[in-house]
Chains A and B, each alone.
Chain A
Amino acid sequence: MGLETALGHSFLTTRLDEAVNWGRKYSFFQYPFVTACCGMEYMSTFASTYDISRFGAEYPRFSPRQADVLFVVGTVNEKLAPVLKRVYDQMCEPKWVVSFGVCATSGGFYDNYATVQGIDKIIPVDIYIPGCPPRPEAVLDALIKLQEKVGRESVLDRKYR
């Protein structure tokens, strides 16, 4: 990024990490890549009952260029796989991926010719949410886990292109 890259792991970078990560983890902009029934549960997590904005992640951006977290919500089939890869590639660093539901995680019960057997065959995944569909609580739990994960990162970890 700048000066801290030259200094390496030092007091300055750890302080900077804390400030940067605090900003990142409480202001996720997500790109919802919603393809199937899990989308209903995603919407419910967003609606007022579960209210994901309490965790600072209230803002879905429907442009990958403005998003930090890619939520892959639902079944991804072979025809769509190149599109998902393209969307991921269009996102700017730093970026994270959440695999929402068993279909995105492993293909679920769609063990057939048409379905990708887990999106990690195409793109790297940070958090997997089990369930068919997952309950909103599980989604919030995943979001908190992602925040913890982001909190452990260092500004030196990511490669900026």
Chain B
Amino acid sequence: MTSYLLDTLKSRFPEAVLETHAFRGDETALIKKEALLQAAAFLRQELGFDMLMDLTAADYLPREPRFELVCHFYSTTHNYRLRLKCPVEAHDAAVDSLTPLWAGANWFEREVYDMFGIKFNGHPDLRRILMYDGFEGHPLRKDYPLKKRQPRMLHKD
């Protein structure tokens, strides 16, 4: 099945798009992480994807590249949806931040950083968002021990 969105994306970034698939109108492109910011800017500025629905990650331990960053975009004008995924290696877990394009990426990226330890270059304020200061490790990584408990913090005013 041909998809206008995926075909446009492939012809615009022939080097960077690793793989695409579409299942019942659910279009996904796997893209190199170096090209993520460019591709996202293209989606936003040329194709009208004005909304970042979600930005999250998945840990595929022991596969290498281990992580996958997942971004869901939506266009309120055209009613299109598109998913971009980026493989991220464990030894270089850093991706360009999407905050210059969508301000809403800020907290999503903080959450991904908190839970998976993926860093975002150019993020204005990359701190933990869900876990408390002093928490060690990243709990949604598959090698975080299920029963691990950490020392409780004292109340800070």
Contact = CB atoms under 8 A, between A and B. Distances in A.
A93 interface: no
Contacts of B135: 78
Contact of B155 (A82, A111, A112): A82
A86 B157 CA distance: 10
B150 A113 contact: yes
B132 interface: yes
B152 A82 contact: yes
Given A78-B132, A79-B132, A113 B154 contact: no
B35 to A, nearest CB: 34
Tell me what chain A mostly uses at the interface: helix, strand, loop, or mixed: loop
A7 to B, nearest CB: 40
A113 B155 contact: no
Nearest to B133: A79
A114 B155 contact: no
Contact of A113 (B149, B152, B153, B156): B149
Contacts of A85: 155
Interface in B137-151: 139, 144, 146-150
Given A83-B155, A86-B155, A78 B139 contact: no
A20 interface: no
21 contacts: A78-B131, A78-B135, A78-B152, A78-B153, A79-B130, A79-B131, A79-B132, A81-B152, A81-B153, A82-B155, A83-B155, A85-B155, A86-B155, A112-B139, A112-B146, A113-B139, A113-B148, A113-B149, A113-B150, A114-B130, A117-B149
Interface of A: 78-79, 81-83, 85-86, 111-114, 117, 122
